[in-house]
Structure 1
Amino acid sequence: MELDTFEQLLTPTGRDLLAEVAARAGVESDLALGTSLRRDHPPELVAAAVTQNHLRGQARRKLGEDAARMYFTHDALEQATRASVSRARTKRLTASGTVAVVDLGCGIGGDLVAFARAGLRVRGVERDPVRAAMARANLGALGLDGEVIEADLGDVQPQTDEVPFLDPARRDAHGRVFDPAAMTPPWDVVAQFLTRPAVVKTLPGFPHAILPEGVEAQWVSDGGDLVEACLWGPGLATAPRRATALPSGAELIGFGDPGEIGDVGGWLHEPDDAVIRAGLVGELATRMGGHLVDGHLAYVTTDEAHTDPLARSFRIVEELPYREKPLRAALTRHDVGTLTIKKRGVDVVPEQLVKRLKLKGSRTATVILARIDDGARAFLVEETGHG
């Protein structure tokens, strides 16, 4: 979208057009709606309004009710932080005594909204003129105070009381990038900010090996989805590594202790993905009074029933044969017809295996397939606790 087209959307005529599109979109096809509206409005403005209506619908999953009043681009919405995650990050910032944030590369201002709503003084910096204009419009549409300037982050000096926040872009012309050096700005630029109190949102696959000394890495899941790693610079860091699960807010901190390994007990526990990516499975096992079943497998086992908000817990009903034919016979004996397969460390496509088993029983069951001590094993389990 061109800047002048977006600015037309902000006029009374543009706002009326957006309202009309929203009212008619569920009744008419995009083709019919566009044809009708182009009789009275420029084609580029109609296209922009229809696109915004679609993006607002998509954004509702991330941003809730705010999405209906905000403006987006496809790429900026994809990178935008979920509102629940932004709120959690902002709560931690305010608890640290932070009073002001400068968002260096603010995009359409999703995180600015959370910062401003919490009462922080906010300043956004965005070099793309359309995104900068959208960030200003989004703050205004939600009745929030804040400044957004169009500039390159390298040309802006954070004020003494401002905590820099960066969310480097993780897409290029070819799609997603997974190498921190390929982000925009690249890792060497981002790392310079982490020598002081600063916060960086980055990819969930952020490599532990390049984490600077004195910087905390926090992995965050939301509703079971691993969504980001967040790096906290000196002055804000309070632990080496942290795993956080939303919406509960359950957390685990530690150093990445590998943990002890032992025999499979009566229960298996599947850690939240944030715990796994943070390398805190060993600490979780200690907290649960258990141990790992294998040094390369993210499963905790205990002899007694135990639940933890950062794990799904399963009671082992029976160890089953791993090979397909005797596995089918065992599941048939249990009258299983609907099967869920969870796997760790084995070369199995669960959907294909379920199809081949051709189970016809009346019961629903879960089987965990895992490679333990270099051998594949199968366990019929019953879930007893979930975060």
Structure 2
Amino acid sequence: MTDESTAPLWDELAFLGGEEGQALLTELAAAPGDDAVALVSRLRKRGLTPEQVSAAVSQAALRRKATGKFGPESAELFFTEAGLEQATRHTVADRHAARFATAGLTHVADLGCGIGADALALARAGLTVTAVERDEHTARVAALNLSRYPRARVITADAESGQIAALLTGRNGDLDGTVDAVFLDPARRTSGRRNTRRLTDPNDYSPSLTFALDLAERLPVGIKLGPGLDRELIPDAVEAQWVSVGGQVVEMGLWSGPLARPGIRRSALVTAGTTTHELAAAADATDAEVRDLGTYLYEPDGAVIRARLIGALAGQLTAGMLSESIAYLTGDTLVTTPFAAAFRVREVLPVRERDLKRALRERRIGTLEIKKRGVDIDPAELRTRLALRGPESATLIVTRMGEKRVALLADRVSAGNPVFSEA
């Protein structure tokens, strides 16, 4: 049902998806640096309505913004502001889809599909896709994005409705085929196309986490969630995988049934550019023993920390914990790894700010990367107060060794490479 307040949006979307709108978007993509006022004036003189111009200019801007997530494909897709923010990155979505394909599943229901990022990956993998989205406008966007795939369709419905329950149990005769697996990306923000706010209670997600986990007991299910989800909510029988892209932890996925790999319950997937590495285990790893400060200090990737696999990483690095419950490792031999940034420790500096400022000035350090764990400081404010001057650069790591606060002056050695040992 469409009310009067949303009718203009439908008209604009229909325009953008039509031949004239597509041609206009192609034209706008070729001139992203045009002065906005002059561009709008030129388009209006060609007879376009203010609504058409606004929709086209906004969509072109969203496509440019989407390049980081979707690459060249962004030039062919349609977005909403909120939908782009919440959409799965192209490379990560392809890995989601590969799980379903590898498990031999053929028809996947994508419940809460948003603008269709994961549904697109499933369709690219050759699977039949039934995508479900409750927001009518967003569902229209997803339908446009999936229109090139004949085995993909979009239904406007609430994922927890009776209509979708019938689909999942094979009782809906209006839908072709039987769904044999489900992917869910519950909306973790309030509804809307922009200016949404984050939801803190998983049962306020749409669909709710309870609904998603109940499905996971009956069907092969993948659930995309925020990386900070309370670990107490993770069922024992599923595989939990934390994913980082370019050093940022972007999601935590739960996988049930044949989508969960045998013997793996915790995984950290680390992606940098086109390279991906994984650290996996049957359970949380026991932390390594605390040891004295060595020549090198390691900062594990956030996915490793979230997956609680620091102990497993320590074994690869022949390293120990710098301090109990603080996610820094230390060792005497350099082992660069995709799962941690490595730093060569120069010296331990005074932690008192006045003395620290003097020590940095004596070393002529004018460019300083400041990292911290286990201490209550603001790196940006500290950098300002240190009044740095000089041609040298370094990294300052402020943390704890036992109960003692320490300031370690170091040089960054690596930010993640194939594993090797320094002779």
2:74 to 45, 67, 78: 67
Q: 1:172 aligned to 190, 193, 198, which one?
A: 190
2:180 and 2:220 in contact (8 A); partners too: no
1:364 aligns to what SS in structure 2? strand
Deviates more, 1:113-122 or 1:17-26: 17-26
Q: Residue deviations 1:109-153, cap 9 Å, x none? A: 111111111222222122222222222211235x67422222222
CA–CA separation in structure 2 for the residues paired with 1:200 and 1:237 = 12
The aligned residue for residue 332 of structure 1 is: 361
Q: Does 1:216 align with 2:223?
A: no
Deviations 1:290-319 (A, max 9, x none): 221222200111122222210011121111
Give, in angstroms, the shift of residue 279 of structure 1: 1.7
Q: Check the 8 A contact 1:197/1:235 in 2, yes or no.
A: yes
Q: Match for residue 313 of structure 1?
A: 342
Deviation at 1:161, TM superposition (A): 5.4
Contact map agreement 1:291 1:302 (CA 8 A) in 2: yes
Shift of 1:377: 0.4
Amino acid across the alignment from 2:96: R
Contact 1:337–1:364, Cα closer than 8 Å, also in 2: yes
Residue in structure 1 matched with residue 256 of structure 2 by the alignment: 233
Q: Deviating runs (4+, > 4 A) in structure 1? A: none
- In the alignment, structure 2 segments of 5+ residues that lack a partner are 1-5, 171-177, 417-423
Residue number in structure 1 paired with 2:320:
291
Give yes or no for contact 1:178–1:205 (8 Å, CA) kept in 2: no
SS of aligned partner of 2:258: coil
Deviation at 1:94, TM superposition (A): 2.4
- Equivalent of 2:310, from 281, 291, 296? 281
- List aligned pairs for 1:78-227, cutoff 5 A: 78-140=85-147, 145-154=151-160, 155-156=163-164, 157-158=167-168, 160=178, 162-172=180-190, 175-195=197-217, 196-227=219-250
Offset from partner CA, 1:14-65 (integer Å, 9 cap, x none) = 2233334445553231x44334434512332222112111111111111111
Task: State the identity as a percent.
Answer: 41
Amino acid at match of 1:269: Y
In structure 1, stretches of 5+ residues that fail to align are: none
1:344 aligns with 2:367: no
Aligned with 1:153: secondary structure? coil
Q: Report the aligned-residue RMSD.
A: 2.0
- Residues 234-291 of structure 1 show CA distances to partners (whole Å, capped at 9, x for unaligned) of 2222212111101332111232233122222221100001011112212211222222
SS of equivalent residue, structure 1 residue 367: strand
Match of 1:33 in 2: 39
For residues 95 and 184 of structure 1, what CA distance do their matches in structure 2 show? 28
Residue 229 of structure 1, CA deviation: 0.6
> What is the one-letter code of the residue matched to 2:285?
D
TM-score, with length taken from structure 1: 0.93
Which residue of structure 1 aligns with residue 174 of structure 2? Answer: none
Q: Which moved more, 1:267-276 or 1:88-97?
A: 88-97
**In the alignment, what sits opposite 1:245?**
270
Q: Which residue of 2 aligns with 1:46?
A: 53
Task: Give the conservation status (yes or no) of the 8 Å contact 1:24–1:33.
Answer: no
2:96 touches 2:118 (CA, 8 Å); kept in 1? no
Match for 1:136: what amino acid? A
Equivalent residue pairs, number: 385
Counterpart of 2:246, as a letter, is G
TM-score by length of 2: 0.85
The one-letter code matched in structure 1 to 2:241 is: Q
Greater CA drift, 39-48 or 204-213: 39-48
Quick one: which amino acid aligns to residue 324 of structure 1?
E
Query: Residue type of the partner of 1:165?
Result: F
Q: Indicate the residue corresponding to 1:257 in structure 2.
A: 285
Between the aligned partners of 1:382 and 1:14, the Cα distance in structure 2 is 52
Distance 1:126 1:331, change over 3 A: same
Q: Is the contact between residue 365 and residue 394 of structure 2 (CA under 8 Å) also seen in structure 1?
A: yes
Cα distance in 2 for partners of 1:217, 1:334 equals: 46
